[in-house]
Chain A
Amino acid sequence: MPQVKIIAKNFMDMVASLTARDLDNLYQNPFICEAILRSLPPLAKKYVLQMLYIEGSVLAKSMEEWVLADGFTKHRVAIDRLVQLRIFSEEKKKETSYRLNQTFQTNLQKHLIYGGALPREPMPSNVTVRLPTLEELETYALGQWQCFLLQLISSTQAEKPTNFSSSMMKVFQRGLLTQRDKESPRLSESGFQFLLMDTSAQLWYIIREYISNSQERGVNQADLISFLLELSFHVSGEAYNVNTLSELQKNMIKDFADLGLIKLQQGRKDSWFIPTKLATSLSISLTDSSSRKEGFVVVETNFRIYAYSTSKLHCEILRLFSRIEYQLPNLIVGAITKESLYNAFDNGITADQIIAFLQQNAHPRVAERVPSVPENVCDQIRLWESDLNRVEATPAYFYDEFPSRDVFEAACDYARDRSGLLWEDSKKMRLAVKAETHTHMREFLRGQS
Chain B
Amino acid sequence: MASAPSKLYSDDVSLVVVLLDTNPFFWTTSTLSFSHFLSHVLAFLNAILTLNQLNQVVIIATGCNSCDYIYDSSKTANQSFGNGRMPTLCTTLLQNLEEFMTKDEKLGIEEAEERITGSLLSGSLSMALCYIQRVFRSGSLHPQPRILCLQGSPDGPEQYVAIMNAIFSAQRSMVPIDSCYIGAQNSAFLQQASYITGGVHHKPQQLDGLFQYLLTIFATDLHSRSFLQLPKPVGVDFRASCFCHKNTIDMGYICSVCLSIFCTRHKECSTCGSTFGHAQSDDASATNRKRKAPDS
The residues in A between 47 and 95 inclusive whose CB is less than 8 angstroms from any CB of B are 49-50, 52-53, 65-68, 70-71, 74-75
For the complex, give the distance between the alpha carbons of A89 and B227 in Å: 23
Q: Are A42 and B219 in contact (CB under 8 A)?
A: no
Contact of A67 among B43, B211, B215, B227 (CB under 8 A): B227
Q: Could you say which residues of chain A place their CB within 8 Å of the CB of B219?
A: 46, 49
Q: Could you say which residues of chain A place their CB within 8 Å of the CB of B280?
A: none
Q: Could you say which residues of chain B place their CB within 8 Å of the CB of A118?
A: 84
Contact of A42 among B54, B87, B90, B223 (CB under 8 A): B223
For the complex, give the distance between the alpha carbons of A43 and B89 in Å: 26
Provide the A20-50 mask, 1 if CB < 8 A to any CB of B, else 0: 0000000000000010011000110110011
Q: Could you say which residues of chain B place their CB within 8 Å of the CB of A53?
A: 211-212
Q: Are B50 and A75 in contact (CB under 8 A)?
A: no
B46 close to A (CB within 8 Å): yes
Main secondary structure of the interface of B (DSSP, over half): loop
Q: Are B140 and A368 in contact (CB under 8 A)?
A: yes
A410 close to B (CB within 8 Å): no
Q: Are A67 and B11 in contact (CB under 8 A)?
A: no
Q: Could you say which residues of chain A place their CB within 8 Å of the CB of B87?
A: 114-117
Q: Are A111 and B221 in contact (CB under 8 A)?
A: no
Contact of B10 among A74, A115, A290, A367 (CB under 8 A): A290
The residues in B between 44 and 83 inclusive whose CB is less than 8 angstroms from any CB of A are 46-47, 49-54, 78, 80
Q: Are A289 and B11 in contact (CB under 8 A)?
A: yes
CB of B86, distance to nearest CB on chain A (Å): 8
Q: Could you say which residues of chain A place their CB within 8 Å of the CB of B86?
A: 115
Closest chain A residue, CB of each to CB of B223: A42
Provide the B11-43 mask, 1 if CB < 8 A to any CB of A, else 0: 111000000000000000000000000000001
Contact of A46 among B80, B84, B212, B228 (CB under 8 A): B228
Q: Could you say which residues of chain B place their CB within 8 Å of the CB of A379?
A: none
A420 close to B (CB within 8 Å): no
Q: Are B78 and A237 in contact (CB under 8 A)?
A: yes
B159 close to A (CB within 8 Å): no
Q: Could you say which residues of chain B place their CB within 8 Å of the CB of A50?
A: 215-216
Listed residue (A42, A68, A367) with the most chain B CB atoms within 10 angstroms of its CB: A42
> Which of A171-179, A249-257, A280-288, A423-431 makes up part of the contact surface?
A280-288
Q: Could you say which residues of chain A place their CB within 8 Å of the CB of B185?
A: none
CB of B184, distance to nearest CB on chain A (Å): 26
Q: Are A71 and B52 in contact (CB under 8 A)?
A: no
B284 close to A (CB within 8 Å): no
Q: Could you say which residues of chain B place their CB within 8 Å of the CB of A289?
A: 10-13, 52, 54
CB of A217, distance to nearest CB on chain B (Å): 30
Q: Are B224 and A43 in contact (CB under 8 A)?
A: yes
Q: Are B11 and A288 in contact (CB under 8 A)?
A: yes
For the complex, give the distance between the alpha carbons of A358 and B198 in Å: 35
A390 close to B (CB within 8 Å): no
Q: Are B47 and A37 in contact (CB under 8 A)?
A: no
For the complex, give the distance between the alpha carbons of A196 and B52 in Å: 26
Q: Are A67 and B10 in contact (CB under 8 A)?
A: no
B260 close to A (CB within 8 Å): no
The residues in A between 97 and 152 inclusive whose CB is less than 8 angstroms from any CB of B are 108, 111-118, 121-122
For the complex, give the distance between the alpha carbons of A42 and B48 in Å: 12
Q: Are A71 and B10 in contact (CB under 8 A)?
A: no
A348 close to B (CB within 8 Å): no
Closest chain A residue, CB of each to CB of B209: A53
Closest chain A residue, CB of each to CB of B142: A292
Closest chain A residue, CB of each to CB of B91: A115
Q: Could you say which residues of chain B place their CB within 8 Å of the CB of A364?
A: 140
Q: Could you say which residues of chain B place their CB within 8 Å of the CB of A223?
A: none
The residues in B between 135 and 169 inclusive whose CB is less than 8 angstroms from any CB of A are 140-142
B102 close to A (CB within 8 Å): no
Contact of B90 among A66, A67, A115 (CB under 8 A): A115
Contact of B220 among A46, A68, A117 (CB under 8 A): A46
Closest chain B residue, CB of each to CB of A111: B50
The answer to whether A121 and B52 touch (CB under 8 A), given A42-B224, A65-B229, A70-B226, is: no
CB of B95, distance to nearest CB on chain A (Å): 15
Closest chain B residue, CB of each to CB of A122: B80
Q: Could you say which residues of chain B place their CB within 8 Å of the CB of A65?
A: 229
Closest chain A residue, CB of each to CB of B51: A45
CB of A372, distance to nearest CB on chain B (Å): 11
Q: Are A112 and B11 in contact (CB under 8 A)?
A: no
Q: Could you say which residues of chain A place their CB within 8 Å of the CB of B215?
A: 49-50, 52
Q: Could you say which residues of chain B place their CB within 8 Å of the CB of A75?
A: 227
Q: Are A284 and B220 in contact (CB under 8 A)?
A: no
For the complex, give the distance between the alpha carbons of A121 and B109 in Å: 45
Provide the B217-252 mask, 1 if CB < 8 A to any CB of A, else 0: 001110110111100000000000000000000000
For the complex, give the distance between the alpha carbons of A111 and B89 in Å: 12
Listed residue (A50, A121, A284) with the most chain B CB atoms within 10 angstroms of its CB: A50
A-B contact sample (13 more), CB < 8 A, given A53-B212, A115-B87, A289-B54: A42-B224, A43-B224, A45-B51, A53-B211, A68-B226, A68-B227, A68-B228, A71-B226, A74-B227, A284-B52, A284-B53, A290-B11, A367-B140
8 contacts between A and B (CB under 8 A): A37-B51, A43-B224, A45-B12, A67-B227, A112-B46, A238-B80, A284-B52, A287-B52
Residue numbers of B with Cβ under 8 A of A are: 10-13, 43, 46-47, 49-54, 78, 80, 84, 86-90, 140-142, 211-212, 215-216, 219-221, 223-224, 226-229
Q: Which 10 A-B pairs have the closest CB atoms?
A: A115-B87, A71-B227, A42-B12, A289-B11, A284-B53, A112-B46, A42-B224, A364-B140, A112-B43, A49-B215
